[in-house]
Structure 1
Amino acid sequence: MAKHKAQQGKGPSQRQLRVGELVRHKLAEMLARGEIHDDVLASHVITISEVRMSPDLKMATAYIMPLGGKDIAPVIEALKRHGRFIRGEIARTVNLRSAPEVRFREDETFEESARIDRLLYSEKVRRDLEKD
């Protein structure tokens, strides 16, 4: 228990990062090859920017964004519908004691970076920079 408390507040372990990357690569491969048979998924190009693993490696949270940022809700629903199949495929390729349950979330980093760009290129910031 002391080890678990010491881990709180710190970033993910090397093992969590490594397993997250393996799961991310497998998900991306499945989507690119069309291994998940679904009309919604087939009609979108989906980016999986990150997969975060829980400390016990039993839960994986995949952050996704369809190209253009449109139709995020139907894409997430389609991925949820195929959760058992996805988990089974991950179990076959990623060598773990148990396959992680995969949750899908919208990747909001694209929106955040666009917001920062808008701020940096705003007229107010431009005026402040020209003063120097």
Structure 2
Amino acid sequence: MQTTRQQKIARQIQRDIAEILQRDGAAIAAGSMITVTTVRVSPDFGYAKIYFSIFPFAKAEEVMRSLESNNWFLRRELGKRIRNQLKVVPELQFFLDDSLEYIENIDSLLKE
């Protein structure tokens, strides 16, 4: 279970990463829409697991590779925004949140 501080920092990171992607993410997104669904922060604030939902799902693998290759850029921009709240900018780990794809599959199966 996360502490209140972890939850606050996770929400702040989620907002900041979403804003960074909205402002500078044209090259990273490659014609896709990226949504930051969840952020989980480790107890020592050393790592942040960031979960993304990507539309269209067919481009998800390409966008995830692009996110990984631009990890340094996202971390640097995040550091500029949270430098007054944390001493060290957390290492960013990216994960694909495929829950929406799963829901669509279940929905299509139920319609059949």
> If the TM-score is normalised by the length of the shorter chain, which range does it land in?
0.7 to 0.9
Cα deviation digits, residues 8-45 of structure 1 (max 9, x gap)? xxx11111111111111111101111x2462x514111
AA aligned to 2:75 is: R
- Which has more strand, going by share of residues? 2
Say which SS state the counterpart of residue 70 (structure 1) adopts. Answer: helix
Give the TM-score of the pair, scaled to structure 2.
0.84
Q: Which consecutive aligned stretches of 4+ in structure 1 deviate over 2 angstroms post-superposition? A: 111-119
Give ranges in structure 2 of 5+ residues lacking alignment.
none
Give the TM-score of the pair, scaled to structure 1.
0.73
AA aligned to 1:14 is: T
Match of 1:103 among 93, 103, 107: 93
How many pairs align? 110
Give ranges in structure 1 of 5+ residues lacking alignment.
1-10, 124-132
C-alpha distance in 2, partners of 1:29/1:42? Answer: 17
How far off is 1:65 after superposition? 1.6
Seen in structure 2, the aligned counterparts of structure 1 residues 103 and 97 have a Cα distance that, compared at 3 Å, is same
AA aligned to 1:17 is: Q
Q: Looking at both structures, which has the greater relative contact order when contacts are Cα pairs under 8 Å and sequence separation is at least 6?
A: 2
Larger Rg, first or second structure (1 or 2): 1
Contact 1:36 1:82 in 2 (8 A): no
